[in-house]
Amino acid sequence: MDRIAIEGGSPLFGDIPISGAKNSAIKLMAASLLTSEPVRLTNMPRLADTRLLGRLLARFGTQISESDGPDGQQTVLHTPEITSSFAPYELVRQMRASFNVLGPLLARTGHAKVSLPGGCTIGARPVDLHLKALEALGAHIDMHEGYVFAQAPRGLKGAEIEFPFVSVGATEHALMAAVLAHGTTVMKNCACEPEIADLAECLNAMGAKVSGQGTTTIVVEGVTSLHGADWSVICDRIEAGTYAVAGAMAGGEVRLTRVRPELIAILLDKLVEAGCEVERGADTVTIRRKDAKIRPVDLTTDVYPGFATDLQAQFMALMTLADGESVIRETIFENRFMHVPELSRLGADIRVTGNEARVHGVTELRGAQVMATDLRASACLVIAGLAARGETIVNRVYHLDRGFENLEGKLSACGANIRRLKGDSPIMEEE
């Protein structure tokens, strides 16, 4: 398995271009199943997760072509006919979000058999809300042997759906199913993440009638069919936030390009509180920390526009070197502090009680061997390694490859001393 070696201590100076959002790209790919015409996605990140979903879609009859076009990396997905509506365990277990093919398959063909994604390293993460939403739309759902069998032979029907709590995946899943339902669907207590608006707007470009995206109530007027479209994937706010924190941690001056600063507004505010200078341009953000000490900052993760749970681990890495104590609360996922023991191996002083971590800043981190446990935790270990004295080796970096495009290239272009040590092929695990 590949590893990443980082020799800490070099400040970062330079530009980091931000890729298209993984969490949007994979939903847009799934949405392409809803039409028999080609969907061209530009600003596409090339990641292990997008490749994996591509393999799954190919089983359903999707023809996929990737190229570098005038608008950057693009992927054209074309499913003239759904040749199979079966999503096997081996593929779904490797990426939870691939469960979201269920809705589009069901909406287009009236039936689907999709494996349950199973548990994962950051908590139980059930899919009950997804299934209840599909049932509300008239699907008949059965479960056996780890598979969901869904049927709606006469099509889905518009309905009122009120989510008992906010779920990104369930909001997107219900949305993708509702666009081809007969009649109007009103979804309440929806997630407002920008990737949901990206999906809704792409669906509208395909001929859907969705309104209210970006708010807690989304209304979908069902249409009988969708057509092809061209869509540019929204920038990856989690990747942007990760490099912003990396810049703060290593010191120096990093300019993020191809970014929408408003999508990481709360994180940028926290970096200012922590002692960084932040300049927001139209599609750039500059993060500067010269000699200033890192100040301790408390945070609580929340649904958008609150502090993203996917940036919690990275910010905690920064706080390990703060001049005092910070309190970090995780409210979205149980068990999302698995990076804590790994940060401790680098010399961090962190106490966890329930969903709260108290981080006592230390004067230095020291390089060590550490293990990536999930996607965002891996990024936090790289960030810590950038500032640690000596060499940090991050093991199991296939997690990073799921969500960060060319991480070593982007950081080393800014002066980081980081390189990939090639190993055997990875054994993928569900996250």
Site for ligand UD1 contains 130 (CB under 6 A): yes
For ligand UD1, the binding residues in 171-230 under the rule CB under 6 A are 191
Site for ligand UD1 contains 241 (CB under 6 A): no
Give the chain as a 3 state SS string: CCEEEEECCCCEEEEEECCECHHHHHHHHHHHHHCCCCEEEECCCCCHHHHHHHHHHHHCCCEEEEEEECCEEEEEEECCCCCCCEECHHHHCCCHHHHHHHHHHHHHHCEEEEECCCCECCECCCCHHHHHHHHHCCCEEEEECCEEEEECCCCCECCEEECCCCCHHHHHHHHHHHCCCECEEEEECCCCCHHHHHHHHHHHHCCCEEECCCCCCEEEECCCCCCCEEEECCECHHHHHHHHHHHHHHCEEEEEECCCHHHHHHHHHHHHHCCCEEEECCCEEEEEECCCCCCCCCEEECCCCCECHHHHHHHHHHHCCCCCEEEEECCCCCCCCCHHHHHHHCCCEEEEECCEEEEECCCCCECCEEECCCHHHHHHHHHHHHHCECEEEEECCHHHHHHCCCHHHHHHCCCCEEEEECCCCCCCCCC
Annotated catalytic residue: which of 120, 202, 276, 414?
A: 120
Q: What is the per-residue binding string for ligand UD1 in 76-105, x denoting contact by CB under 6 A?
A: --------------------xx--------
- C-beta of 60 vs 333, nearer to ligand UD1: 333
Site for ligand UD1 contains 126 (CB under 6 A): yes
Do 350 and 358 meet the contact criterion of CB atoms below 8 Å apart?
Answer: yes
Give the residue, chosen from 231, 307, 333, 398, that forms a contact with ligand UD1 under the rule CB under 6 A. Answer: 333
- Per the annotation, the verdict on 120 as an active-site residue is yes
Residue in the structure block whose two tokens are 């936030």:
241
- C-beta of 159 vs 414, nearer to ligand UD1: 159
- C-beta of 239 vs 310, nearer to ligand UD1: 310
Give the residue, chosen from 41, 57, 76, 332, that forms a contact with ligand UD1 under the rule CB under 6 A. Answer: 332
Site for ligand UD1 contains 123 (CB under 6 A): yes
CB of 196 to ligand UD1, least distance (A): 9
Give the residue, chosen from 93, 125, 270, 289, that forms a contact with ligand UD1 under the rule CB under 6 A. Answer: 125
Give the residue, chosen from 127, 152, 250, 276, that forms a contact with ligand UD1 under the rule CB under 6 A. Answer: 127
Site for ligand UD1 contains 264 (CB under 6 A): no
Site for ligand UD1 contains 240 (CB under 6 A): no
- C-beta of 138 vs 169, nearer to ligand UD1: 169
Stretch of 163-171, 218-226, 350-358, 394-402 contacting ligand UD1, by CB under 6 A: 163-171
Nearest residue to ligand UD1 by CB is 169
Looking at the DSSP bridge assignments, the partners of residue 218 are 187
- C-beta of 34 vs 168, nearer to ligand UD1: 168
- C-beta of 124 vs 421, nearer to ligand UD1: 124
CA atoms within 13 A on the CB side of 236: 26
Stretch of 122-130, 286-294, 361-369, 385-393 contacting ligand UD1, by CB under 6 A: 122-130
**Token pair in block for residue 128:** 């009950």
Cα 352–354–359 angle (5° rounding)? 25
- C-beta of 169 vs 347, nearer to ligand UD1: 169
CB of 338 to ligand UD1, least distance (A): 14
Give the residue, chosen from 103, 158, 169, 367, that forms a contact with ligand UD1 under the rule CB under 6 A. Answer: 169
Site for ligand UD1 contains 23 (CB under 6 A): yes
CB of 127 to ligand UD1, least distance (A): 5
User: Residues in the site for ligand UD1, rule: CB under 6 A?
Assistant: 23, 96-97, 123-130, 167-170, 191, 309-310, 332-333
Residues with catalytic function: 120
